[in-house]
Copies of this chain bind each other. A is one copy, B any other.
Amino acid sequence: MGNRQVTLAQRPTGMIDESTTSLVETPIPQCGPHEALIKVGLLSIDPTIRTWMNDAPGYLQPIGIGDVIRSGGGGVVVESKSERYQVGDVVNGVTGWQEWAIASETNRFTVLPKGLGLDLATVMNVFGATGLTAYFGLLDVGAFKVGDVVVVSGAAGATGSVVGQIAKARGAGKVVGIAGGPEKCSEVVERYGFDECLDYREARLTQRIREACPQGIDLYFDNVGGAVLDAALANIAMYSRIVMCGAISQYNATEREGVANTSMLIMRRGQMKGFIVFDFAHRYAEAHVELAAMVLDGRIIHQEHFVSGLEHAPDALNLLFTGGNHGKTLVVVDESVQLN
């Protein structure tokens, strides 16, 4: 029995395909001093993984050719030489796309809370990078205020759907989603409780945002970049805050789309601010408490989209860009790994 891994075979141009990754098998890693051996259960499939495959400046080093694809994941501790982890602990961290991972002092995993009645998928979705990004992006970076007219792109996505729900729960004046296609738009309104959802695939997005937000957008949470960001910029209210969270429309692009309306920031005294959720690591506990309460009492509705088998992780990543997923995309590597 070995450790199956998905590694980077060559850097992709545009969408990843069969030539991008290799499925290899190596020995199960040895657990050294102060380390723990993790059996991986679920992989968290996030758009940012695509950016790590490029040889371009980013917030982390690019994944090296031949290296395991970097990724969040959840698993169970099966052997430990670390005081930090006990055998049987269910943990969340940077596992990579593989069946076995090592948790060390430099690669710290979070030990997940048992007994809350929350399963591993839920915890990896709402309490993982996805939910934390929504929480700190909206409340801290966006400086959300009661009464704000909030617009969220990627609204059917794992992060966007949580952003809108937190905004509603905290007293937004109006929450408008932007998503791709009528099915996702209806999901955003019916399932996640947004006031309205606009389909970016239809014409006249700028005008339709204006109709939905006649007083302008107070807070725009951007997951997509490109033309949707431009349409939002055209509609910002005075002192508007634009949270730059992601630019999924651009991650596979061979040439980036330009944003023409940046001078609206001058006219409306707006600000655009980028962030990475890791910057808030020292405050995750605060977010976990509030997010757990909101999940348990139903103020946050969440949804996971499962793809079975480590070997399908590349397909799962592509789903994020084709819009074929619903909610948080997770790859099931070993379904026996459970939190409760």
- Verify B247–A262 contact, CB threshold 8 A: yes
What is the interface size of chain A, counting residues whose CB is below 8 A from a CB of the partner? 34
B247 touches A266 (CB 8 A): yes
Chain B residues closer than 8 Å to A65, beta-carbon distance:
none
Residue-by-residue, is A262-288 near B (CB-CB < 8 Å gives 1, otherwise 0)? 111111111111111001000000000
Q: What is the bound-complex CA distance between A274 and B247, given in angstroms? A: 21
By a CB distance below 8 angstroms, the chain B residues around A268 are 59, 274
The answer, yes or no, to whether A312 is at the interface (CB within 8 Å) is no
Quote the shortest CB–CB distance from A248 to chain B (angstroms): 10
* Chain B residues closer than 8 Å to A265, beta-carbon distance: 244, 272-274
> Number of copies of this chain in the oligomer?
2
Within the complex, what minimum Cβ distance (angstroms) separates A84 from chain B?
Answer: 28
Max chain B C-beta neighbours (<10 A), residue from A229, A230, A268, A273? A273
Chain B residue at smallest Cβ distance from A234:
B57
Q: Which residue in B255, B262, B275 is a CB contact (below 8 Å) of A225?
A: B262
Does A93 make an interface contact (CB < 8 A)? Answer: no
**In the assembled complex, A259 has its CB within 8 A of some CB on chain B:** yes
Once the chains bind, are A267 and B274 in contact (CB under 8 Å)? yes
Question: Is residue A260 within 8 Å, beta carbon to beta carbon, of the partner chain?
Answer: yes
Confirm or deny: A258 has a beta carbon within 8 angstroms of a beta carbon on chain B. yes
CB neighbours (8 Å) of A230 from chain B are 258
Q: Is the CB of B272 within 8 A of A262?
A: yes
**Are A266's CB and B276's CB within 8 A?**
yes
